Each structure stands twice: as structure tokens, then as C-alpha cells.
């Protein structure tokens, strides 16, 4: 049998974790044979609630779950972990400027980066979900220089899944028929959901949809603002779909993605497509053998390039602001 993998989840008493933990322990994420050890971390005021989550994980009697340990200290939590899912971040509050949000999170993620550097396994794979996710990932990476750049990622799989779903709905197709739609840039309302390489049952998305005005307008807006639409409807954030996207992201990264269908991951740029090196930017990728490769050689239209530049500018500005606080 395979040795157990240890997964640290921060913000583990929160909404997303509550949906995610069954997917980590039930075999959906790492496969039906892979045993799991959980390191659940949250802030001290949440420790009691976290104890309740631990009780439920015990009561769920997952055959794959070997152990659950609770932490409030990042260094302790990161020891010996193979994967870190960073859900914990400072939430944006009413009347709060984006700059204040960046400052709060720069504090959190620089401290966690230092803890990772000190205590973490250098082969740990990290996915940052807490917002602003791309920039939080960039800060974490800057503060944990001995962990390889390719081990850091931020979640844009939810945006990717949302984009695929919208195209399937619009064309009356099965989701499995939609391929190679992807997300460029920031996990924010500037992200660029790109259909220009996408197909539906082998036909190009633009031919199949046959409505460029919708594709270049409402489709993009819907995907960019879907999180806000869910909050407006549920009065709670999109925790279930976020958890599924995290599970998808990890599953593909570890077990590989389909060779004829891109997935989207925000990763430190290697300079591909003229995106400044080091900026954590969502790209179309293919995953294989525990690694991802940015899809190369895609033709970028002027429309696409403009959108890619807008989201890049936002990321550069966020990173500049955040650097003041590290």
C-alpha cells in the first residue's frame, strides 16, 4: 500500500473547509487507495469549532483517513506536510479598501511563508485559495525561497469550471464536450475567461455559440462576477463549488490532467506569453507526473492580449502594494 500523505488545511474551521474535507478523505482528490493524514489549522478563537469538525471527521469513519491533528501554530502545522491548502485569509469587510485587505493578508502570508521556510517539507505542493489569492501566493513564495517556484499555485480552477459550465449551458451541451476554455490572470473581476482555443464536441466555441457579442461581453462578465452573484443569492460565499475546484486542482496536479484539455492554474510566471516572470498568473496548463506545464504556442488575438494586460496590471499593482508590508 502507498504511504499516507499529510495535508495541511489552514482556515480549517471555515465554510470551504467544511465542504472540502470530505473530498480529501473520500478518495475524490488523491484517488481511492491513497491514505490521508490531516493537519487542520485555524486561529485560536476558532479552535473549539475546529474540535467539532474533528469529531465529525471521526464520525464519518472514512476508511482512508488515518489521523486528524489540530493546530493554531503554523510551524507546527506545516511540519511533514505534503500538501498545503491555504484557505485562511483576512476577509474583506464592509467599507474596507483593497489596500487594507492587502496589508492584513501580507501580514498573514509573510508569517506563514516564514513558517513554511523553517518547518516545511521542501517538496510540499501549495494551493492558495484565501483572497487576494494570486498575490497572497506571491507573498508566501517570497518568504519561503527554498521551496521551488513550481510548487506554489493559487486557485483559478473555480473560474475555469464556471467558464466551462456557462459554455455548456449556452450551447445545450454536456460539460464533457467542452474543452480548452481557460482562465488568464488574476482570480478577481479582471480575470480573462478565454474561449478562443475552446471547442464544443470538436467545433470551435465561437462557431457553436455563434454570438460574438455574448462571448466578448456577458459571458466574460458572468464568469468574472459569479462569486458575487452566489453571495447575493445565498448570503454566503460559494463554498461548495470552491471545494470541488480545489479537489479538481489537486487531483489533476497529482494524478495528471487530460492531454487534450487544458486546465487553469495560477502559477509563478516563467515569462510565457510575455507575462512578467514571478507574477502569480493563471495560465492554461497540462498536468502530468505530479507537475504542470504551461501550454505553449497559443495564438493570442488583440482582444485577448488587451484583457491579459489589464489583469496583469492589476496583479503588478497588488504585488507592489503588498511588498511594502512584508
Could you tell me the CA-to-CA distances from 35 to 3, 144, 148 in Å, in that order?
Answer: 7, 27, 25
Cβ proximity of 64 and 29 under 8 Å: no
Helix or strand run (H / E) with residue 153: strand 152-154
Which residue of the set 39, 160, 187, 251 is catalytic?
A: 187
Residue 193 CA, chain-centre distance (Å), reads 15
Cβ proximity of 122 and 52 under 8 Å: no
Cell, residue 288: 502530468
Q: Rounded distance, CA 98 to CA 104, Å?
A: 10
- Residue 160 falls in the annotated catalytic set: no
Nearest to 120 by CA among 74, 155, 72, 85: 74
Q: Rounded distance, CA 75 to CA 251, Å?
A: 26
CA R_g for the chain: 19
Interhelix angle 157-171/239-255, nearest 10 degrees: 110
Nearest to 247 by CA among 161, 135, 184: 161
What are residue 137's phi and psi, to 5 degrees?
-65, -40
Nearest to 272 by CA among 284, 260, 256, 254: 284
Interhelix angle 157-171/226-234, nearest 10 degrees: 80
For the sheet containing 291-294, what is the strand order?
65-71, 36-41, 5-10, 83-86, 125-128, 152-154, 263-268, 280-288, 291-294
Tell me the catalytic residues. 187
Amino acid at each position: 500500500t502507498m504511504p499516507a500523505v499529510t495535508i495541511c488545511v489552514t482556515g480549517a474551521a471555515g465554510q470551504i473547509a467544511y465542504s472540502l474535507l470530505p473530498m480529501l478523505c473520500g478518495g475524490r482528490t488523491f484517488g481511492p487507495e491513497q491514505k490521508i493524514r490531516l493537519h487542520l489549522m485555524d486561529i485560536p478563537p476558532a479552535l473549539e469549532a475546529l474540535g467539532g469538525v474533528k469529531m465529525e471527521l471521526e464520525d464519518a469513519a472514512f476508511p482512508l483517513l488515518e489521523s486528524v491533528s489540530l493546530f493554531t501554530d503554523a510551524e507546527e502545522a506545516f511540519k511533514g506536510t505534503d500538501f498545503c491548502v491555504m484557505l485562511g485569509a483576512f476577509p474583506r469587510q464592509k467599507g474596507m479598501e483593497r489596500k487594507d485587505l492587502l496589508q492584513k493578508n501580507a501580514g498573514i502570508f509573510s508569517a506563514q511563508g516564514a513558517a513554511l521556510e523553517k518547518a516545511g517539507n521542501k517538496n510540499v505542493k501549495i494551493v492558495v485559495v484565501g483572497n487576494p489569492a494570486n498575490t497572497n501566493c506571491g507573498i508566501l513564495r517570497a518568504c519561503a525561497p527554498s521551496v521551488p517556484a513550481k510548487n506554489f499555485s493559487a486557485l483559478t480552477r473555480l473560474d475555469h469550471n464556471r467558464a466551462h459550465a456557462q459554455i455548456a449551458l449556452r450551447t445545450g451541451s454536456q460539460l464533457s464536450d467542452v474543452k480548452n476554455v481557460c482562465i488568464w490572470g488574476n482570480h478577481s473581476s479582471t480575470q480573462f475567461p478565454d474561449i478562443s482555443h475552446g471547442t464544443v464536441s470538436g467545433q470551435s466555441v465561437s462557431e457553436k455559440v455563434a454570438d460574438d457579442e455574448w462571448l466578448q461581453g456577458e459571458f466574460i462578465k458572468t464568469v468574472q462576477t459569479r462569486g458575487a452573484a452566489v453571495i447575493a443569492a445565498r448570503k454566503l460565499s460559494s463554498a461548495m463549488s470552491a471545494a470541488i475546484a480545489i479537489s479538481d486542482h489537486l487531483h489533476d496536479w497529482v494524478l495528471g490532467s487530460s492531454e487534450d484539455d487544458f486546465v487553469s492554474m495560477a502559477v509563478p510566471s516563467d515569462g510565457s506569453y510575455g507575462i512578467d516572470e514571478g507574477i502569480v498568473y493563471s495560465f492554461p496548463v497540462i498536468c502530468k507526473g505530479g507537475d504542470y506545464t504551461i501550454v505553449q504556442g497559443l495564438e493570442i488575438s488583440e482582444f485577448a492580449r488587451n484583457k491579459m494586460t489589464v489583469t496583469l496590471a492589476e496583479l503588478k499593482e497588488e504585488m507592489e502594494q503588498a511588498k511594502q508590508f512584508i
